Amino acid sequence: MQDALAMTYLWLKAGHIIFVIFWMAGLFMLPRLFVYHQEAPEGSEEAAKFAEREQKLLKIILLPSIIVVWVLGLALAFTLEAWNQGWLHAKLLLVLILSGYHGYMSAYAKKLARGERPLSGKQLRLLNEVPGIAVALIVVLVIVKPF
């Protein structure tokens, strides 16, 4: 019985890591697409292609990935019974922030598709750093478990 539980845990963990990689790849790529989109002439065929690419990235990669990351992550937390551990609380906070970032980027894609460009290329390049910083902190929390 113990072996079955251990194998289940390892499969959950592997799946979680795989989908975190997919999610992060999409979150790194989306703001870069936004920069190129904003540099394209407004209303051009090029801008329309970028809007289409952004929507595909959001619907085909990012949405399924965030769902699987949350489902498997919560399953892991239940398996570990880690709810009273400080590192998990901090990780969950960072994942909530990343999920909010994901939502903000999704809303920004809709604005760009409508021709609105509220952020500059420089601001988008800075926003592109958010997932990298968050994932670095999350990895440290999960591996080191500082509290």
What are the binding residues for heme? 16, 91
SS3 breakdown of the chain: % helix, strand, coil, rounded to 5?
A: 85, 0, 15
CA pair distance 29, 7, nearest whole angstrom: 33
Q: Phi and psi (nearest 5°) for 77?
A: -60, -40
81 Cβ contact list (under 8 Å, min separation 6): none
Binding-site residue ranges: 16, 91
Whether the CA torsion 110, 18, 68, 141 is positive or negative: it is negative
CA pair distance 32, 6, nearest whole angstrom: 40
Q: What amino acid occupies position 8?
A: T
CA pair distance 1, 81, nearest whole angstrom: 18
